[in-house]
C-alpha cells in the first residue's frame, strides 16, 4: 500500500464545505502500523501526572503508547520514564502498578536496578568478562521527557520540538485547568481502566463531540432538570476551536451540571452555595472577572493531540487511551482536583464526577455502546466514508459543529502522509 492510498483517506473540500474520512482508518491493520510509527512514536505522549508520584521512590508502572514504562521519582527527586524491560533478557522489572521503591528487582535472574535506572546488582557478576559494563546496562529511558504544570509527557522522537511549542494553543487551556488551585492540581487516587471494541480515533472524536451530547446523554439532561437545574442552562452556547498541531477544544457556558470549583448546581446542596460564591470572589480578585469566569464557569473538552483528553466539565477527567488492534483500545481515566480542596468539597466533586463520567455514570457506558456500534457498522464496507463536515461553512463554528474534529483529522492525515524521513512541520490553527 503506497502513499497514494494514504492520501485518499481524508477528503478536505473547503470550497464546498465537505469533509470526509474513509472508514478504512478505523479497520485496516496497516493503518494502525503507520499510526504506531508516525503518530505514537513521534508526538509527545501523556505519561502521567507529577502528583501521582509526589515522594522520592514513588512509581507508577503503566502502558503508555503501547509500551510498558515506569513513571518514577528517583531518590534524587527527578521524574523519569524508565522503559520497563530488563536489559538482561527482557522481562518486565516492575510488576506492581504503583508503590514506593528504592530499587526494582527483575524476577527472572534477579538483576536489580535503582529507582534512577542504574544497574546495581547482578548475581554472580564475576562470571562475566571485563567487557561487561553495568553502566551500559542501565534501564533505558524515554528519549524525551518534559512536563507542563505537572502533566508529564514523553516522546520517542529525539528531534521533537519542545513540549511548550508542541502544545501551541492547548497550553492556554491547560492553564485554565491548572489555575483552579494556587497550590496545584492532583490526580485523585484510583484509576478507571476499561476497554472498548472500537478504534481509538472514535474516542478522540467522541470526547470533543458536542453534537451527540443532548442525544446520547439525553437522560443526563433530564436528570439535571429533575434535580432542579434551570433548563435555560442546558441550552448553553459555545465554540469549537482548533489550537494548532492537531489540538482542539470545545468550550461553552454556563455549565449545566455545575462545576465543583465554583459554579453551583442544585445537586451540591443549598449549604454549599455561599462557599462557592466566596470562592468565586477569590478567583475574581486574583484573575479579574473575565478570566475568573473562564476558569470557574466555563466547560471545556480539550484534546491534546493525539490521545490526551481533559474534560473540564462537571468534574475534571484526564483520559488517555491506546489501540491494541484497529477495533480495540484500552483506556485509562483519572479525576483531577485542586490539592487544597476541603474534604466535603472533594466528596461533592467526586459525586458529580461519577454521575456523568464514572464507569456506571450517565455518559461513559452510553458512549462505549455508541462507539462499539459504529465499529460494528464499519463491517458494511460498501459505506466507505464518515462525515465530519458539520459547521464547515459557518463563520464561527459552535460546540456541536465538527471543526475541532477536523483539526484532529488534518494533523493525523498530515503525519500519516508526510514522506518518509521528513518531520511534519508544526501546524497552525485552522479556522474551518
244 to each of 104, 201, 410, how far by Cα in Å? 40, 18, 10
| Partner that binds at residue 128, options Fe ion, ligand FES, none, CB closer than 5 to 8 Å by kind | none
Closest to ligand FES by CB, 29 vs 123, is 123
| Unique residue bearing C-alpha cell 466566596 | 278
Which range, of 5-13, 62-70, 91-99, 359-367, touches Fe ion by CB under 5 A?
359-367
Which cell numbers hold the place of 409? Answer: 483529522
Q: How many residues bind Fe ion (CB under 5 A)?
A: 2
Distance of closest approach, residue 238 Cβ to Fe ion, in angstroms:
16
Closest to ligand FES by CB, 89 vs 197, is 89
Which range, of 148-156, 162-170, 223-231, 360-368, touches Fe ion by CB under 5 A?
360-368
| Angle formed by the axes of helices 218-226 and 343-356, nearest 10° | 140
Interface residues for Fe ion in 271-310 (CB under 5 A)? none
Closest to ligand FES by CB, 116 vs 252, is 116
The single residue among 26, 59, 104, 111 that binds ligand FES, judged by CB under 6 A, is: 111
Distance of closest approach, residue 15 Cβ to ligand FES, in angstroms:
58
121 to each of 76, 77, 104, 110, how far by Cα in Å? 19, 22, 10, 8
Distance of closest approach, residue 62 Cβ to ligand FES, in angstroms:
20
Distance of closest approach, residue 122 Cβ to ligand FES, in angstroms:
8
Which range, of 107-115, 203-211, 219-227, 310-318, touches ligand FES by CB under 6 A?
107-115
Distance of closest approach, residue 346 Cβ to ligand FES, in angstroms:
41
Distance of closest approach, residue 29 Cβ to Fe ion, in angstroms:
27
Bridge partners for 322 per DSSP: 330
119 in Cβ contact with 132 (< 8 Å): no
> Which one-letter DSSP state was computed for residue 403?
H
Closest to ligand FES by CB, 84 vs 299, is 84
Binding marks (x or -) toward ligand FES, 47..86, rule CB under 6 A? Answer: ---------------------------------------x
Q: What is the largest CA-CA distance in the chain?
A: 76
- Sign of the C-alpha dihedral, residues 372, 374, 378, 379? positive
Closest CA to 20 of 406, 415, 418: 406
299 in Cβ contact with 259 (< 8 Å): yes
Closest to ligand FES by CB, 44 vs 111, is 111
Which range, of 58-66, 88-96, 214-222, 231-239, touches ligand FES by CB under 6 A?
88-96
The single residue among 109, 235, 281, 286 that binds ligand FES, judged by CB under 6 A, is: 109
307 in Cβ contact with 320 (< 8 Å): yes
| Partner that binds at residue 333, options Fe ion, ligand FES, none, CB closer than 5 to 8 Å by kind | none
Q: Mind giving me the DSSP string for 342-392?
A: -HHHHHHHHHHHHHHTSTTSSSHHHHHHHHHHHHHHTT-TTS-EEE--TTT
The answer to the question of residue 106 lying near ligand FES (CB under 6 A) is yes
220 in Cβ contact with 229 (< 8 Å): no
The single residue among 52, 179, 367, 401 that binds Fe ion, judged by CB under 5 A, is: 367
Closest to Fe ion by CB, 21 vs 363, is 363
Which cell numbers hold the place of 61? Answer: 508502572
Distance of closest approach, residue 90 Cβ to ligand FES, in angstroms:
6
Which cell numbers hold the place of 378? Answer: 464499519
| Partner that binds at residue 108, options ligand FES, Fe ion, none, CB closer than 5 to 8 Å by kind | ligand FES
Distance of closest approach, residue 107 Cβ to ligand FES, in angstroms:
8
301 in Cβ contact with 309 (< 8 Å): yes
Closest to ligand FES by CB, 106 vs 336, is 106
Helix (H/G/I), strand (E/B), else coil: 317: strand
Closest CA to 362 of 239, 212, 250: 212
Distance of closest approach, residue 206 Cβ to Fe ion, in angstroms:
6
Q: Mind giving me the DSSP string for 217-235?
A: THHHHHHHHHTT--HHHHS
Helix (H/G/I), strand (E/B), else coil: 264: coil
Distance of closest approach, residue 364 Cβ to Fe ion, in angstroms:
8
Query: What does the binding site for Fe ion look like in residue numbers (CB under 5 A)?
Result: 363, 367
The footprint of ligand FES (CB under 6 A) covers 86, 88-91, 106, 108-111
Amino acid at each position: 500500500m503506497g502513499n497514494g492510498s494514504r492520501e485518499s483517506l481524508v477528503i478536505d473540500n473547503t470550497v464546498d464545505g465537505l469533509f470526509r474520512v474513509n472508514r478504512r482508518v478505523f479497520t485496516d491493520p496497516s493503518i494502525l502500523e503507520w499510526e504506531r510509527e508516525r503518530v505514537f512514536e513521534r508526538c509527545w505522549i501523556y505519561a502521567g501526572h507529577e502528583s501521582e508520584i509526589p515522594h522520592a521512590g514513588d512509581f507508577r508502572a503503566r502502558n503508555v503508547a503501547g509500551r510498558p514504562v515506569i513513571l518514577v521519582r528517583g531518590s534524587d527527586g527527578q521524574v523519569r520514564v524508565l522503559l520497563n524491560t530488563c536489559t538482561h533478557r527482557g522481562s518486565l522489572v516492575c510488576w506492581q502498578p504503583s508503590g514506593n521503591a528504592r530499587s526494582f528487582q527483575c524476577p527472572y535472574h534477579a538483576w536489580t536496578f535503582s529507582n534512577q535506572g542504574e544497574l546495581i546488582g547482578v548475581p554472580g557478576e564475576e562470571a562475566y568478562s571485563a567487557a561487561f559494563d553495568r553502566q551500559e546496562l542501565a534501564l533505558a529511558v524515554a528519549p524525551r521527557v518534559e512536563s507542563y504544570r505537572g502533566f508529564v509527557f514523553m516522546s520517542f522522537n529525539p528531534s521533537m520540538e519542545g513540549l511548550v511549542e508542541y502544545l501551541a494553543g492547548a497550553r492556554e487551556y491547560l492553564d485554565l485547568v491548572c489555575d483552579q488551585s494556587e497550590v496545584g492540581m492532583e490526580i485523585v487516587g484510583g484509576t478507571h481502566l476499561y476497554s472498548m471494541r472500537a478504534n481509538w480515533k472514535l474516542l478522540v472524536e467522541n470526547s470533543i463531540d458536542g453534537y451527540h451530547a443532548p442525544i446520547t446523554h439525553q437522560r443526563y439532561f433530564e436528570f439535571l432538570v429533575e434535580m432542579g437545574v434551570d433548563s435555560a442552562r442546558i441550552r448553553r452556547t459555545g465554540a469549537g476551536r482548533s489550537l494548532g498541531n492537531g489540538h482542539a477544544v470545545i468550550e461553552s457556558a454556563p455549565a449545566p451540571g455545575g462545576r465543583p470549583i465554583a459554579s453551583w448546581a442544585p445537586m451540591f446542596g443549598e449549604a454549599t452555595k455561599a462557599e462557592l460564591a466566596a470562592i468565586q470572589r477569590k478567583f475574581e480578585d486574583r484573575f479579574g472577572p473575565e478570566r475568573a469566569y473562564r476558569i470557574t464557569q466555563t466547560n471545556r473538552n480539550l484534546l491534546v493531540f493525539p490521545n490526551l483528553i481533559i474534560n473540564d466539565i462537571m468534574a475534571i477527567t484526564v483520559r488517555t487511551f491506546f489501540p491494541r488492534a484497529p477495533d480495540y483500545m484500552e483506556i485509562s481515566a483519572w479525576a483531577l482536583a485542586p490539592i487544597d480542596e476541603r474534604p466535603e468539597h472533594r466528596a461533592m466533586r467526586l459525586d458529580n464526577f461519577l454521575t456523568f463520567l464514572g464507569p456506571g455514570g450517565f455518559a461513559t457506558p452510553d458512549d462505549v455502546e455508541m462507539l462499539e456500534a459504529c465499529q460494528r457498522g464499519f463491517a458494511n464496507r460498501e459505506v466507505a466514508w464518515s462525515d465530519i463536515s458539520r459547521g464547515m461553512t459557518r463563520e464561527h463554528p459552535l460546540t456541536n459543529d465538527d471543526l475541532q474534529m477536523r483539526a484532529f483529522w488534518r494533523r493525523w492525515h498530515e503525519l500519516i502522509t508526510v514522506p518518509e524521513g521528513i518531520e511534519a512541520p508544526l501546524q497552525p490553527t485552522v479556522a474551518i
